[in-house]
Structure 1
């Protein structure tokens, strides 16, 4: 029989652990002083490519660069 008393606060707030950890990381990055803050914010950038597949062959990839929170 499970007790609700042992439920982590992020779960009780209706969040997933990933959401909770992203919020914590964002606050830590915002508390840093320069130049460490700029370096940490730069590491947030995400780079990836998307390729459509037609008749079993990949078409030319589309390069993307997205930043979280935008």
Structure 2
């Protein structure tokens, strides 16, 4: 029995689990019919804030939006 038998296929392919799950999620979204597809793509957007630190104190945060489709 090969030692690779217990290794998940995404690891054997050289991927991280996050990369694998993102590929699977995109495939599922693309298989949906409208209007469910556009709703799923809209939920995919991620919003976050970034604060730079200066002299040990956080500066005013800036809001960011990450959309892999753009």
Common topology (TM > 0.5): yes
Give TM-score, length-normalised by structure 1. 0.83
How far residue 4 of structure 1 moved from its aligned partner, in angstroms, is 1.6
Task: Show structure 1 runs of 5+ residues with no match.
Answer: none
Give the superposed CA RMSD.
1.6
How far residue 69 of structure 1 moved from its aligned partner, in angstroms, is 5.0
**Equivalent position of 1:26 in the other structure:** 26
Query: 1: distance between equivalents of 2:57 and 2:42?
Result: 34
**Equivalent position of 2:38 in the other structure:** 38
Query: SS in structure 1 opposite 2:38?
Result: helix
* Matched ranges for 1:1-70 at <5 A: 3-68=3-68, 70=70
Give TM-score, length-normalised by structure 2. 0.83
**Structure 1: 4+ residue segments shifted above 6 A:** none
Output one character per residue of 1:39-65: Cα deviation in whole Å (capped at 9) or x when no partner: 100011111111112223222111111
Task: Show structure 2 runs of 5+ residues with no match.
Answer: none
